[in-house]
Amino acid sequence: MKKEELPQDKSALASMTRELMYVKDKEGKYTTDLSTGWEVKKDALDNAWDDIRERVEEARLAVKNGEKSPICYFMELRIMDVIVLSGYTGFWGFTIKRHMKPSVFKSLSEKKLDIYAQAFNISIDELKNFKGE
């Protein structure tokens, strides 16, 4: 792609970052330049954010309906999966999945709740008293 053809479409990340792209200069030599984005990538990013919002809403409803513990909601909200949350907390993956059961969550110690709260960057109170609203 020629330098003057480099896309500069606005994307969700345009105000935060730009992407380094390889382009050809006037002499036909490869060089680099910055792009704020391009339409195809913007659409893909928008779809990904829509999927994330949907997963967060599904987790919120599962907590509200008593099907899952707040750990599930905050994990989705922070765009984590069990493996990532395990890395932050030090808990085994199967332990985290068990803690997502409301009955097990209610019996967690303050120490374990604090570990989760720190991983989610919230207070223990926010974690314990999540209403799903």
Task: State pLDDT tens for residues 61-97.
Answer: 999 999 999 999 999 999 999 999 999 999 999 999 9
DSSP-assigned letter for residue 17: -
DSSP-based three-state secondary structure for 13: coil
Query: Closest by alpha carbon to 62, among 73, 51, 54?
Result: 73
Share of the chain above pLDDT 70, in %: 92
What's the confidence (pLDDT) of residue 14? 65
Domain ranges in the chain are 3-37, 65-128
What's the confidence (pLDDT) of residue 133? 65
Which fold, 65-128? 434 Repressor (Amino-terminal Domain) (1.10.260)
DSSP-based three-state secondary structure for 50: helix
DSSP-assigned letter for residue 92: -
4: tokens are: 């003057």
DSSP-based three-state secondary structure for 130: coil
